[in-house]
């Protein structure tokens, strides 16, 4: 009975993320993106379009800001860097950060976005009613809304043949975003289960990581201590629940790891490694 | 200073009945013109909504940083406008300010209909409106509930509570008047009023219970109205965005709500006074009191605005501070300064008695006050989205013709419902105006008596509602 | 003896008040103030006083509704949350008290208002067919006093009404 349930689990149900929450994670998928070797080629973004059935919206709608690129390459020019124009822009691949305490989650009125036991921030297209509050409350602005029925024009015949059958094509009125290629995670987990073993590091590779020519994107499970991602996170002293301040206290030039907007306390799952610029 | 009575105490009760009943039959022609304009505006909005519904939300120019725009601004605006009617009516009832009596009925109707208008916007703005009912906590065989953490669900609870409570308040207050209508009409009106008056005969038992329920509902409505707009402000204040996550939002929103509601009361006061020839009831003295109240609330709003700016300025939160500077100097600066002018400078016209008593001036001023308040809501919603934490997604955006048509149409929708209401139901509370006249006459009589018997004391003239 | 009801219409509220006061002073033997009903076009707390203490019980229902709203609200919300663990949390607890309190507040008022309203409908004697002893003048500007009496008291009551300048007297026989 529900009342018994409340009384028996009261202390468990009252735990926020600070006390560990009540989640029992099986995996915590995460990324490490080395900006030093990212050359801004956009292959990751293209791979994402192909893998995840992202609609190409056309020039006009793109200019209006109605594009659907789950993974975008952000370009920044440092104003202080006028002395070294040949160094060009810095690039930053930006996708859903799959925050541990995601701000998009509590604001959804219908519980269409939730946290999976894999540590993913999942979007349930069928449940979404399109209030768009999640996108408004996302500091990274990585949620994309189907402003039109894009599928009607995005894949003229015979291009619909290239659609990925593992995932759906979304109609107007729902929110979508990077899933960390959840369909690949699913396949790998199913395979591992059938072979009665754990998912191995490197077994799951997101489309962006696979396509990156310089291997700037590393994907893996931070709960697996031997995974490449875990080691990178540890090496750069980036830890879940530990925020910028505690880390900056140690001055070490090799510590390039950071998570974007760590100070907002949202606990992102993507670590970036800062670009190293030449000092003169 | 011109001092005058709120209402002429010598007015005959039969005249009150006939005047108000007459208003429901024979308004001035301007009434029909206004109604026609409102219907036309609704027609435009329906067309625009049809396009938006079939093509998608992109037709409103919404884009990735600007997921919300004027629809949400209009939603907050209409919720805000709903506040003055019921809240002021309830407060003035509790403090026995009897000058509310001739004007509260239409003010409460304004509450109900602006809530009905506000309720349209979450639907208009929703991507998949056909699934709107998912925000309601119904028992589903899949064990799926709405997310009770979401301020949007709080909105659904708060607004449905407020809508039912304020409709009941309006309805209960109208029962004795419906009985009057029942006794004096024929045809479909008689049938309607007979059903709605629920068999009211005015017996002492009914009046005693009536007095109690009215008091109890007024007590419920005051905290309810405050909570409703606090919860609407939580849509923003509970978020993590600069310019939204501001602690002073709940009182700021409540003050803004009262402000735009009072301005709307002035607008509708002038319109009804003209349409229905209500010069005897909606007197200049009551107009002046409403204007003074509006002025006071305008100053509260101004103060809270300044407090918000000051706390951002001294808070050294760089996102917030840069956003504030961008609002005042960036591409949205004209709208920002119009808002400041309409919201904080223009209300000073209400401080001058000459202007207060000049109906055309007040009509225009009250419209501009509400324009300022609409811009205020828009300045809360849109610039934050234009300039959030993520600099790559900074953008400037203005609504499309579709969006404008729907927002304009909402004014027509409100006007249409309101005008139909005042045509079908008495927009001045007859029984309460009688009470007002009765009590004022008696207290005036007692004063005369006191003056006659006690010559030694200086006579101090007090009129009933002064200072309330 | 058959029972009958007599209604007297008064235009002067003071006279109506005095008439009831007379009944209270037992001017008509056998008629108590409990059998007197007054109908009036406006709310008259001071005139009603003369009718004696007639209690109103709406507020009890209001209190009950409010308490019901709060407790039901809490149990409903936390029960729903505790059985729906996949709901998004964003780092918050499964049963987040602050947001539940917000909703309980609304439910308090929601149920309080509805209980009050229904209590009003049933306790105030609305939703009944109006008796024939109703004058449309009451909704205009006159006060009516309705007394329920044995037939034998017919004359003294009418006399009393006449003494207080009654405008019109109507009567009906109660089965």
Q: Are residues C42 and C23 in the same domain?
A: yes
Contact between B17 and C106 using a beta-carbon 8 Å cutoff = no
Any CB–CB contact under 8 A between A15 and chain C?
yes
Contact between A14 and C93 using a beta-carbon 8 Å cutoff = yes
Is the pLDDT at A250 greater than 60? The verdict is no
Average pLDDT over residues C111-116: 94
Q: Are residues C118 and C79 in the same domain?
A: yes
In percent, the amount of chain A with pLDDT more than 70 equals: 90
Residue C31: per-residue pLDDT? 78
Name the residue with higher pLDDT: B114 or C23. B114
Residue B463: per-residue pLDDT? 43
pLDDT band, very low/low/confident/very high, at A115 (cuts 50, 70, 90): confident
Q: Is the peptide bond before A158 cis (omega within 30 degrees of 0)?
A: yes
Q: Are residues C67 and C99 in the same domain?
A: yes
Bridge partner list, A73 = A93
Q: Can you give the C-alpha Rg of chain A in angstroms? A: 20
- Residue B315's nearest CA partner among B240, B230, B243, B237 is B243
Q: Are residues C40 and C66 in the same domain?
A: no
Contact between B147 and A110 using a beta-carbon 8 Å cutoff = yes
> Which of B201, B211, B220 is the closest to C109 by Cβ?
B220
Contact between C95 and A6 using a beta-carbon 8 Å cutoff = yes
Residue A280: per-residue pLDDT? 44
The secondary structure of B59-93 as a DSSP string is GGT--SS-SS-HHHHHHHHHHHHHHHHHHHHHHHH
Using an 8 Å Cβ cutoff, are A178 and A70 in contact? yes
- Distance of CA B89 to CAs A69, B169, B290, C29, Å? 52, 10, 12, 46
Residues of B within 8 A of A70 (CB-CB) are: none
> Which of C78, C89, C97 is the closest to A6 by Cβ?
C78
Residues of A within 8 A of B128 (CB-CB) are: 128-130, 173-174
Any CB–CB contact under 8 A between B436 and chain C?
no
Distance from CA of A22 to the nearest CA of B (A): 16
Residue A260 region by backbone torsions, left for phi larger than 0, else alpha for psi between -120 and 50, else beta:
beta
d(CA A43, CA A49): 10
Any CB–CB contact under 8 A between A174 and chain B?
yes
Residues of B within 8 A of C99 (CB-CB) are: 148-149, 154
How long a stretch of residues is chain B?
Answer: 468
Here the contacts of B40-45 (C-beta below 8 Å, separation 24 or greater) are B40/B412, B41/B408, B41/B409, B41/B411, B41/B412, B41/B413, B41/B415, B42/B409, B42/B412, B42/B413, B42/B416, B43/B409, B44/B405, B44/B408, B44/B409, B44/B412, B45/B405, B45/B406, B45/B408, B45/B409, B45/B410, B45/B412, B45/B413
Q: Are residues C62 and C114 in the same domain?
A: yes
Model-wide pTM > 0.80? yes
- Distance of CA A207 to CAs A211, A251, A273, B421, Å? 6, 35, 20, 60
Angle at the Cα of B208 (from C125 to B13), degrees rounded to 5?
100
Angle at the Cα of B87 (from B350 to B179), degrees rounded to 5?
110
Residue A86: per-residue pLDDT? 63
> Which of B143, B175, B209 is the closest to C58 by Cβ?
B209
Contact between B392 and A61 using a beta-carbon 8 Å cutoff = no
> Which of the 8 DSSP states describes residue A202?
T
Residue B460: per-residue pLDDT? 47
Any CB–CB contact under 8 A between C70 and chain B?
no
Contacts for C25 with CB less than 8 Å, ≥ 6 apart: none
Any CB–CB contact under 8 A between A272 and chain B?
no
Residue C129: per-residue pLDDT? 76
Q: Phi then psi for A103, rounded to 5 degrees?
A: -75, -20
Residue A85: per-residue pLDDT? 63
With CA atoms as reference, the chain A residue closest to B149 would be: A106
Average pLDDT over residues A174-198: 94
Residue C153: per-residue pLDDT? 76
Any CB–CB contact under 8 A between B51 and chain A?
no
Distance from CA of A211 to the nearest CA of B (A): 23
Q: How confident is the model over B186-230, as pLDDT tens digits?
A: 889 899 999 998 988 888 888 889 989 999 999 999 999 999 999
Residue B2: per-residue pLDDT? 54
Any CB–CB contact under 8 A between C90 and chain B?
yes
Contacts for C148 with CB less than 8 Å, ≥ 6 apart: C3, C4, C5, C35, C37, C174
Contact between A139 and B240 using a beta-carbon 8 Å cutoff = yes
Sign of the four-CA dihedral A62, A64, A69, A73: positive
Residue A133: per-residue pLDDT? 93
Residue that the structure tokens 């609409």 belong to: B374
- Distance of CA A96 to CAs A79, A212, A227, Å? 27, 17, 21
First-last CA distance in chain B: 18
With CA atoms as reference, the chain A residue closest to B393 would be: A141
> If DSSP codes are grouped into helix, strand and coil, which group holds residue B254?
helix
Number of neighbouring beta carbons within 10 Å of residue A60: 8
Residue A119: per-residue pLDDT? 87
Question: What is the CA C72 to chain-centroid distance, rounded?
Answer: 28
Where b means 16+ CB within 10 Å and e means fewer, B432-442 reads bbbbbbbbbee
Q: How confident is the model over B330-365, as pLDDT tens digits?
A: 999 999 999 999 999 999 999 888 888 888 999 999
> Which of A10, A14, A114 is the closest to C86 by Cβ?
A114
Here the contacts of B441-447 (C-beta below 8 Å, separation 24 or greater) are B441/B9, B441/B10, B444/B9
- H or E element: which one contains B315? helix B284-315
Residues of C within 8 A of B170 (CB-CB) are: none
- The mean predicted confidence, pLDDT, of chain B is 88
ipTM of the complex: 0.91
Best of B128, B137, B148, B154 to substitute, by most chain A Cβ atoms within 10 angstroms, is B128
Q: Phi then psi for B324, rounded to 5 degrees?
A: -65, -45
- Residue B395's nearest CA partner among B62, B118, B164, B137 is B62
Total of domains in chain C? 2
Name the residue with higher pLDDT: B46 or A2. B46
d(CA B406, CA A88): 46
- Residue B23's nearest CA partner among B198, B162, B181 is B181
Q: Are residues C105 and C49 in the same domain?
A: no
Residues of C within 8 A of A104 (CB-CB) are: 88, 90
Name which of A44-58, B6-20, B279-293 the model is least confident about: B6-20
pLDDT band, very low/low/confident/very high, at C175 (cuts 50, 70, 90): low
d(CA A106, CA C92): 8
Domain locations along chain A:
22-273
Q: Which CATH class is domain A22-273?
A: alpha beta
Using an 8 Å Cβ cutoff, are B63 and B191 in contact? no
Is the pLDDT at B461 greater than 70? The verdict is no
Cβ within 8 Å of B, C 137-156: 138-141, 146
> If DSSP codes are grouped into helix, strand and coil, which group holds residue B370?
helix
- How crowded is the C-beta side of B226, counted as CA atoms within 13 Å? 9
First-last CA distance in chain A: 70
Beta strand A257-258 with A270-273 is antiparallel
Question: What is the CA B459 to chain-centroid distance, rounded?
Answer: 40
- Residue B177's nearest CA partner among C43, C17, C146, C168 is C43
Is the pLDDT at B233 greater than 90? The verdict is yes
Name the residue with higher pLDDT: A254 or A127. A127
d(CA A244, CA A250): 11
With CA atoms as reference, the chain C residue closest to A123 would be: C88
d(CA B134, CA B233): 22
Number of A to C CB contacts under 8 A, please give it.
74
Is the pLDDT at A253 greater than 70? The verdict is no
Q: How confident is the model over A70-91, as pLDDT tens digits?
A: 999 998 877 665 666 666 778 8
Using an 8 Å Cβ cutoff, are C147 and C5 in contact? yes
> Which of A3, A10, A115 is the closest to C89 by Cβ?
A115
Distance from CA of A234 to the nearest CA of B (A): 27
Residues of A within 8 A of C81 (CB-CB) are: 13
Any CB–CB contact under 8 A between B431 and chain C?
yes
Q: Which CATH class is domain B13-137+145-432?
A: mainly alpha
Q: How confident is the model over C37-73, as pLDDT tens digits?
A: 888 888 877 777 778 778 888 899 999 999 999 999 9
Question: What domain range includes position C39?
Answer: 3-55+132-174
Residues of A within 8 A of C77 (CB-CB) are: none
Using an 8 Å Cβ cutoff, are B228 and B162 in contact? yes
Residues of C within 8 A of A18 (CB-CB) are: 91
> What's the per-residue H, E or C state across chain C?
CCEEEEEEEECCHHHHHHHHHHHHCCCCCCCCHHHEEEECCCCCHHHHHHHCCCCCCHHHHHHHHHHHHHHHHHHHHHHHHHCCCCCCCCCCCCCCHHHHHHHHHHHHHHHHHHHHHHHHHHHCCCCCCCCCCCCHHHHCCCEEEEEEEEHHHHHHHHHHHHHCCCCEEEEEEEC
Bridge partner list, A72 = A94
Best of A8, A9, A16 to substitute, by most chain C Cβ atoms within 10 angstroms, is A16
With CA atoms as reference, the chain C residue closest to A5 would be: C82
pLDDT band, very low/low/confident/very high, at A47 (cuts 50, 70, 90): very high
Cβ within 8 Å of C, A 19-38: 21-22
Residue A278: per-residue pLDDT? 64
d(CA B206, CA B212): 10
Crossing angle of the two packed helices B430-453 and B151-184, in degrees rounded to 10: 80
B contact chains, 3+ CB pairs < 8 A: A, C
Residue A2: per-residue pLDDT? 73
In percent, the amount of chain A with pLDDT more than 90 equals: 52
First-last CA distance in chain C: 11
Contacts for B352 with CB less than 8 Å, ≥ 6 apart: none
Residue C174: per-residue pLDDT? 74
Average pLDDT over residues C149-156: 77
Using an 8 Å Cβ cutoff, are B117 and B406 in contact? no
Any CB–CB contact under 8 A between A267 and chain C?
yes
Q: Are residues C153 and C168 in the same domain?
A: yes
Average pLDDT over residues C131-137: 79
Number of A to B CB contacts under 8 A, please give it.
142
Using an 8 Å Cβ cutoff, are B289 and B95 in contact? no
- How crowded is the C-beta side of B173, counted as CA atoms within 13 Å? 33
Contact between A106 and C83 using a beta-carbon 8 Å cutoff = no
> If DSSP codes are grouped into helix, strand and coil, which group holds residue B212?
helix
Residue B457: per-residue pLDDT? 47
Task: Kindly tell me the number of DSSP H helices and DSSP E strands found in chain A.
Answer: 11, 10
Any CB–CB contact under 8 A between B425 and chain C?
no
**Which segments of B126-187 does DSSP mark as H helices, in order?**
151-184
> If DSSP codes are grouped into helix, strand and coil, which group holds residue A205?
coil
Residues of C within 8 A of B17 (CB-CB) are: 140
Which CATH number belongs to the domain containing residue C142 in this structure?
3.30.70.120
């Amino acid at each position: 009975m529900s009342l018994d349930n409340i009384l028996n689990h009261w202390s468990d149900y009252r735990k926020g993320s600070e006390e560990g929450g009540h989640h029992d994670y099986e995996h915590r998928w995460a990324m490490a993106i080395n900006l030093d070797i990212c050359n801004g080629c956009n292959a990751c973004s293209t791979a994402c379009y192909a893998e995840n059935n992202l609609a190409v919206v056309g020039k006009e709608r793109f200019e209006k800001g109605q594009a659907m690129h789950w993974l975008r390459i952000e370009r920044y020019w440092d104003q202080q860097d006028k002395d070294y124009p040949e160094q060009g822009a810095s690039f930053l691949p930006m996708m859903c950060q799959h925050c541990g305490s995601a701000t998009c989650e509590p604001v959804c009125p219908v519980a269409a976005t939730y946290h999976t036991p894999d540590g993913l921030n999942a979007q349930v297209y069928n449940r979404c009613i399109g209030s768009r509050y999640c996108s408004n409350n996302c500091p990274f602005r990585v949620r994309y809304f189907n402003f039109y029925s894009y599928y009607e024009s995005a894949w003229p015949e015979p291009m619909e043949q290239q659609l990925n059958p593992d995932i759906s094509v979304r109609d107007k009125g729902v929110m979508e975003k990077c899933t960390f290629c959840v369909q690949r995670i699913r396949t790998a987990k199913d395979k591992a289960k059938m072979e009665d073993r754990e998912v191995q590091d490197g077994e799951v590779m997101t489309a962006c990581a696979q396509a990156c020519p310089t291997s700037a994107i590393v994907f893996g499970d931070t709960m697996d201590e031997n995974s490449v991602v875990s080691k990178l996170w540890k090496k750069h002293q980036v830890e879940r629940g530990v925020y910028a301040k505690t880390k900056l206290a140690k001055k070490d030039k090799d510590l390039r790891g950071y998570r974007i907007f760590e100070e907002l306390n949202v606990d992102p799952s993507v670590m970036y490694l800062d670009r190293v610029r030449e000092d003169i | 200073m011109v001092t005058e009575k709120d209402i002429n105490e010598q007015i005959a009760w039969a005249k009150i009945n006939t005047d108000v009943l007459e208003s429901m039959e024979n308004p001035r022609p301007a009434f029909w013109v206004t109604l026609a304009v409102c219907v036309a505006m609704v027609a435009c909005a329906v067309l625009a909504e049809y396009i938006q519904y079939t093509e998608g939300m992109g037709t409103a120019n919404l884009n990735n940083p600007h997921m919300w725009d004027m629809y949400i601004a209009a939603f907050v605006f209409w919720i805000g406008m709903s506040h003055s009617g019921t809240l002021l009516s309830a407060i003035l009832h509790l403090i026995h300010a009897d000058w509310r009596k001739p004007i509260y009925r239409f003010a409460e109707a304004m509450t109900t209909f602006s809530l009905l208008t506000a309720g349209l916007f979450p639907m208009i703005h929703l991507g998949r409106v056909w699934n709107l009912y998912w925000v309601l906590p119904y028992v589903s065989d899949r064990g799926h509930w709405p997310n009770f953490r979401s301020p949007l669900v709080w909105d659904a609870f708060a607004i449905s509570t407020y809508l039912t409570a304020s409709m009941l308040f309006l309805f209960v207050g109208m029962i004795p008047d419906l009985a009057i209508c029942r006794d004096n009409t024929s045809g479909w009106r008689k049938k309607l009023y007979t059903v709605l008056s629920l068999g009211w005969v005015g017996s002492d038992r009914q009046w005693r219970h009536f007095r109690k329920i009215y008091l109890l509902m007024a007590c419920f409505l005051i905290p309810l109205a405050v909570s409703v707009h606090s919860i609407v402000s939580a849509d923003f204040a509970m978020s993590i965005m600069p310019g939204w996550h501001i602690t002073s939002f709940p009182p700021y929103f409540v003050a803004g709500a009262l402000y735009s509601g009072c301005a709307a009361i002035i607008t509708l006061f002038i319109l009804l006074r003209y349409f229905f020839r209500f010069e005897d009831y909606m007197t200049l003295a009551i107009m002046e009191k409403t204007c003074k109240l509006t002025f006071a609330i305008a100053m509260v709003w101004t103060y809270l605005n300044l407090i918000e700016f000051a706390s951002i300025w001294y808070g050294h939160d760089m996102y917030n501070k840069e956003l504030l500077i961008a609002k005042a100097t960036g591409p949205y600066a004209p709208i920002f300064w119009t808002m400041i002018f309409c919201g904080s400078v223009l209300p000073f016209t209400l401080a001058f008695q000459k202007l207060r008593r000049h109906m055309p001036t007040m009509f225009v001023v009250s419209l501009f006050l509400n324009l300022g308040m609409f811009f205020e809501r828009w300045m809360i919603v849109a610039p934050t989205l234009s300039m959030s934490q993520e600099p790559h997604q900074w953008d400037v955006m203005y609504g499309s013709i579709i969006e404008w048509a729907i927002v304009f149409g909402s004014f027509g929708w409100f006007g249409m419902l309101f005008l139909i209401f005042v045509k079908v139901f008495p927009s001045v509370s007859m029984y309460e105006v009688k009470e007002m006249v009765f009590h004022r006459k008696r207290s005036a009589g007692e004063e005369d008596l006191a003056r006659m018997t006690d010559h030694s004391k200086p006579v101090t003239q007090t009129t009933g509602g002064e200072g309330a | 003896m058959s029972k009958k009801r007599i209604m007297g219409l008064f235009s002067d509220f003071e006279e109506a008040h005095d008439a009831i006061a007379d009944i209270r002073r037992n001017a008509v033997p056998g008629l108590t103030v409990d059998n007197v009903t007054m109908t009036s076009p406006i709310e008259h707390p001071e005139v009603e006083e003369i009718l004696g203490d007639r209690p109103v019980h709406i507020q009890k229902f209001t209190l009950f509704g409010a308490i019901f709203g709060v407790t039901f609200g809490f149990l409903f919300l936390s029960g729903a949350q505790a059985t729906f663990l996949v709901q998004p949390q964003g780092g918050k607890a499964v049963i987040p008290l602050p947001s539940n309190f917000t909703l309980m507040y609304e439910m308090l008022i929601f149920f309080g208002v509805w209980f009050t309203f229904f209590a009003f409908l049933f306790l105030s004697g609305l939703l009944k067919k109006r008796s024939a002893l109703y004058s449309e003048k009451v909704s205009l500007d006159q006060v009516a006093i309705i007394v329920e009496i044995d037939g034998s008291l017919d004359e003294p009551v009418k006399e009393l009404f006449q003494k207080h300048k009654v405008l019109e007297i109507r009567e009906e026989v109660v089965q």
